[in-house]
Amino acid sequence: MPSIRPFRPGDESALADICLRTADAGGDATGVFEDDAIWAEIFVLPYVARHPDLAFVVEADDRRVVGYIVGTPDTDAFEAWFRDEWWPEHGARWPRSGAGRTRQAATLRYADARRPGAEPFSAEYPAHLHIDLLPETQGGGWGRRLIETFVEALRRRGVTGLHLVASDANLGAIAFYPRVGFTPIPSHKGTRAFGMALGPPR
């Protein structure tokens, strides 16, 4: 039986692999970019670097990490740190000139543009998360359990709201989030955003 445990140093490579294998609207993104490592450097590794105490993983019976949830209690503070500290170091290895209109180029432009206040819902829903599960773990209730674990950790910190953003091509995720307590909120083109107001710890 799988179990949820806190993130531990050394889990990073497993998280990067899960991120890659679920990054293409929930499907495997291997080979979509010239360098597969870009996905994790934007969407999972900065979170475990900044907030390792808000990262939780699903561990299978054979000790493999097969899912995770990561996030931040303060989106604007996180985006300032990403812009000023994380991305200048970790994003500099990929050239921008002549990148054209590829998905890799668009994703690097997104990362380059991250900043406090870029998301209009961070005032009402200051925390945000990323959650990914390998296909073998999906459908067994582990996504719900990860979100419950993350939400309780935020409540203990006094965080008042949580949001997430999914690609509008990720139909499975769009159907899932309302089932676990999220409400649709206004979104950027090509995405679906969801928010959840948080009460005190249970």
pLDDT in tens, 33-57: 999 999 999 999 999 999 999 999 9
Domain extent, residue 59, equals 3-197
106, part of any domain: yes
The pTM is what?
0.94
133, part of any domain: yes
Q: Structurally, how many domains does the chain consist of?
A: 1
202, part of any domain: no
CATH number at residue 186: 3.40.630.30
Q: Are 196 and 125 in contact (CB under 8 A)?
A: yes
In the chain, the amino acid numbered 121 is F
Alpha-carbon distance of 113 to 53, in angstroms, equals 26
62, part of any domain: yes
- The mean pLDDT of 162-169, rounded to a whole number, is 93
Q: Name the strand (E) or helix (H) holding 135.
A: none
pLDDT in tens, 53-88: 999 999 999 999 999 999 999 999 999 999 999 999
